[in-house]
């Protein structure tokens, strides 16, 4: 989609309206549930995206912003004559929303970007980051026998696996540390720096390897990533 004027020159209200008009609707909106009146999941998701765009540090700051900025609450889809959702509503959404629903929206956006020729996908980049599990074995202040023995799985998180983190505190000086947990992998388009794929796997899987049929190989030593995965995954 092209505009006559640069989008950064638009007023903030119009910028946010354009951004959220391209966001697909949240799946399973008509689920029946008991308790408090339902709040639009689309509006909740828009609010959380707005929180990140504005750099708001917490959900309390977001709720404060919505209460004191009715115009923005209206753009996000909340009736201005009603009190915005509480912090607990946003926490409930983040805690209980199935990841598959969010991935569905992400895939729709990636497809749209590919159809608009904005996401070429000719050169892909892969990166990963460590996610430490909340177990005592990761707390070096506690006394644990065989702390990093991969055959002894932590009781606090049986799905966690032993992984490594590589640091370079000084040039050409490598430092390796161990941890129990997971590793988040992301595949991005190098031209636009937009994410295409994302996987959270056990920490023992250092590379996310994907073959030509879009199957995860879960390897530790080689990286096999080919461009045909794009139309298969999407």
Question: Is the Cβ–Cβ distance between 174 and 166 less than 8 Å?
Answer: yes
List helix spans (H) across 117-234.
229-233
pLDDT in tens, 141-184: 888 888 999 889 999 999 999 998 888 888 888 888 999 999 98
Please, which pLDDT band fits residue 40 given cuts at 50, 70 and 90? confident
pLDDT in tens, 80-112: 888 889 999 999 999 988 888 888 888 888 888
Task: In whole angstroms, give the CA distance from residue 50 to residue 196.
Answer: 21
Dihedral of the CA atoms 93, 98, 102, 107 (nearest 10)? Answer: -170
Closest to 67 measured CA to CA, from 57, 46, 82, 54: 82
Domain ranges in the chain are 7-29+36-97, 124-140+153-233
Residue 224 reports pLDDT greater than 80: no
How high is the pLDDT of residue 6?
56
pTM of the model: 0.66
Residue 48 reports pLDDT greater than 90: yes
């Amino acid at each position: 989609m092209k505009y006559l004027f640069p989008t950064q020159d638009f007023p903030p209200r119009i910028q946010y309206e354009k951004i959220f008009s391209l966001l697909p609707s949240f799946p399973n909106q008509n689920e029946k549930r008991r308790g408090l009146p339902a709040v639009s999941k689309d509006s909740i998701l828009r609010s959380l995206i707005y929180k990140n765009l504005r750099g708001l540090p917490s959900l309390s700051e977001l709720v404060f912003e919505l209460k004191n900025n009715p115009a923005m609450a209206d753009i996000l889809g909340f009736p201005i004559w009603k009190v915005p959702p509480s912090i607990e509503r946003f926490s409930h959404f983040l805690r209980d929303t199935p990841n598959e629903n969010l991935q569905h929206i992400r895939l729709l956006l990636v497809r749209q970007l590919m159809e608009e020729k904005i996401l070429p996908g000719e050169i892909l980049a892969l990166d990963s980051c460590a996610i430490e599990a909340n177990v005592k074995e990761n707390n070096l202040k506690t006394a644990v026998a065989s702390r990093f023995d991969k055959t002894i799985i932590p009781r606090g998180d049986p799905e966690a696996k032993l992984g490594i983190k590589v640091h370079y505190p000084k040039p050409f000086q490598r430092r390796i540390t161990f941890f129990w947990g997971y590793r988040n992998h992301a595949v991005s388009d190098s031209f636009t720096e937009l994410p295409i794929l994302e996987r959270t796997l056990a920490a023992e899987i250092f590379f996310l390897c994907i073959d030509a049929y879009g199957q995860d190989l879960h390897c530790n030593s080689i990286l096999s990533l080919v461009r045909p995965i794009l139309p298969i995954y999407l």
